[in-house]
């Protein structure tokens, strides 16, 4: 049977590949972006109670009404309040799904979608499977955007742009000024923006998260995508929410209803109740302490780290003083097989897999795991 693949992505994602390699060689896995510590016992209990209280049948298409109400309240109570109407929220089975469905909602065959390279590996396959063409604008070595190159990439065929802040893999965040500058570039177009904001609560050093939806004009034609998995360290629950204008939300649900219709009902009820007791400040402090601990420990290794991550679970590091003749993919494999530490080569986030000399570490791990990983990497 000859079934042709509809996208240019790898048959096996780099995350699966490196996790399998880590398991095969019994390596410490600080590659894939998931925590290895316990979630809040209160959230576990709420999930159990939701099933006991018979939240076991289909939830509404848009989502659990209590969850939607509590998301409105939660976003109003951010450090920088985000005003969202109920009609502008849809509960989804994870952010990757939300990105795919947003693209399915707006793309026609041949439409172009601008992607800032490096980017998360699901973006390009999602564009291609929906008949679009990715147009790449490469960030510089400091993961900053060249605004002139961005402007030159826009064409009459540009239907959408995908942005990501806090960024994976770099950990950089977009400032209010960056979002304003971005709007100035696209304001005289009809371009739709898909804003991947799954690490919104994981920003450090008292930085303030700015959503595309904070912008008074940009919010009228953007999809902002959030993840409970990242918010509450429950990546295996695969549940999030997407925020868009009422017009875009209605269009989104017309596609969403034929893909999955609704999302895990007991999980929605548990999350709705958990939002009422969730301590956002304590959550941020926990993750900053992990970032700081990882940063301090990594000073004992020969890796070159530019600056502490501004947000996300991730820190990038340069290995060129260690193995200057290796590509980052070769180095990541060598580090896993020989030093028993699994990471992700940053080349995996580029469409052309170009060698970068950098690897990505995930610091959302227990201290003893970070300690052992650093111990293995001290004498490289």
> Domain residue spans in the chain?
14-39+280-377, 57-274
Token representation of residue 61: 């298409």
Instruction: List beta partners, residue 222.
Output: 193
pLDDT for position 358: 97
Measured between alpha carbons, how far is 227 from 93 in angstroms, rounded to an integer? Answer: 9
CATH, domain range 57-274: 3.40.640.10
pLDDT for position 380: 85
Give the 3-state secondary structure of residue 328.
Answer: helix
pLDDT for position 369: 97
pLDDT for position 12: 82
Measured between alpha carbons, how far is 320 from 218 in angstroms, rounded to an integer? Answer: 40
Measured between alpha carbons, how far is 342 from 344 in angstroms, rounded to an integer? Answer: 7
pLDDT for position 1: 80
pLDDT tens, N- to C-terminus, the chain (380 residues): 888 888 998 888 888 999 999 999 999 999 988 899 999 999 999 999 999 999 999 999 999 999 999 999 999 999 999 999 999 999 999 999 999 999 999 999 999 999 999 999 999 999 999 999 999 999 998 999 999 999 999 999 999 999 999 999 999 999 999 999 999 999 999 999 999 999 999 999 999 999 999 999 999 999 999 999 999 999 999 999 999 999 999 999 999 999 999 999 999 999 999 999 999 999 999 999 999 999 999 999 999 998 999 999 999 999 999 999 999 999 999 999 999 999 999 999 999 999 999 999 999 999 999 999 999 999 88
Question: What is the Cα 148 distance to its own chain's centre?
Answer: 26
Topology agreement, domain 14-39+280-377 and domain 57-274: no
Number of H helices, E strands in the chain: 13, 12
Measured between alpha carbons, how far is 19 from 35 in angstroms, rounded to an integer? Answer: 14
* CA dist list (Å): 216 to 84, 179, 249: 12, 11, 17
DSSP H helices in the chain? 14-24, 41-52, 65-76, 95-106, 123-129, 147-153, 176-186, 228-231, 246-259, 265-274, 280-298, 328-339, 367-377
pLDDT digit string, tens, across residues 65-103:
999 999 999 999 999 999 999 999 999 999 999 999 999
Per-residue b/e over 258-297, b at no fewer than 16 CB within 10 Å?
eeeebbbbbbbbbbbbbbeebeeeebbeebbebbebbeeb
pLDDT digit string, tens, across residues 247-277:
999 999 999 999 999 999 999 999 999 999 9
**27 φψ region: left (φ > 0), alpha (ψ -120 to 50), beta (else):** beta
Architecture of the domain made up of 14-39+280-377: Alpha-Beta Complex (3.90)
pLDDT for position 4: 82
């Amino acid at each position: 049977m000859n079934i042709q693949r509809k996208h240019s992505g790898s048959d096996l994602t780099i995350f699966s590949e490196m996790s399998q390699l880590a398991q095969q060689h019994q390596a410490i896995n600080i590659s894939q972006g998931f925590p290895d510590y316990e979630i809040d016992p209160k959230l576990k209990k709420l999930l159990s109670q939701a099933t006991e209280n018979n939240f076991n049948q289909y939830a509404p298409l848009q989502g659990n009404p209590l969850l939607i109400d509590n998301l409105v309240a939660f976003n109003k109570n951010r450090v920088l309040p985000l005003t969202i109407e109920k009609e502008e929220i849809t509960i989804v089975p994870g952010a990757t799904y939300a990105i795919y469905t947003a693209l399915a909602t707006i793309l026609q065959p041949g439409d172009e979608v601008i992607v800032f390279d490096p980017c998360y590996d699901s973006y390009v396959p999602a564009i291609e499977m929906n008949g679009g063409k990715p147009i790449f604008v490469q960030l510089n070595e400091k993961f900053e955007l060249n605004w002139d190159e961005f402007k030159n990439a826009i064409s009459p065929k540009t239907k959408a742009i995908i942005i990501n802040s806090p960024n994976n893999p770099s950990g950089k965040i977009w400032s209010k000024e960056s979002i304003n500058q971005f709007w100035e570039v696209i304001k005289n177009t009809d371009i739709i923006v898909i804003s991947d904001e799954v690490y919104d609560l994981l920003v450090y050093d008292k930085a303030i998260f700015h959503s595309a939806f904070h912008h008074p004009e940009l919010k009228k034609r953007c999809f902002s995508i959030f993840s409970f998995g990242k918010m509450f360290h429950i990546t295996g629950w695969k549940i999030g929410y997407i925020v868009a204008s009422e017009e875009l939300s209605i269009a989104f649900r017309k596609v969403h209803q034929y893909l999955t219709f609704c999302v895990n009902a007991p999980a929605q009820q548990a999350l709705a109740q958990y939002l009422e007791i969730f301590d956002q400040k304590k959550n941020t402090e926990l993750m900053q302490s992990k970032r700081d601990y990882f940063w301090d420990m990594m000073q004992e290794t020969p890796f070159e780290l530019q600056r502490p991550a501004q947000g996300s679970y991730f820190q990038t590091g340069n290995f060129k003083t260690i193995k200057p003749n290796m590509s980052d993919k070769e180095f990541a494999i060598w580090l896993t097989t020989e030093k028993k530490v699994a990471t992700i080569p940053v080349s995996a986030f580029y469409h052309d897999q170009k060698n970068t000399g950098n690897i990505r570490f995930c610091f959302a791990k227990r201290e003893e795991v970070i300690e052992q990983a650093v111990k293995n990497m001290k004498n490289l």
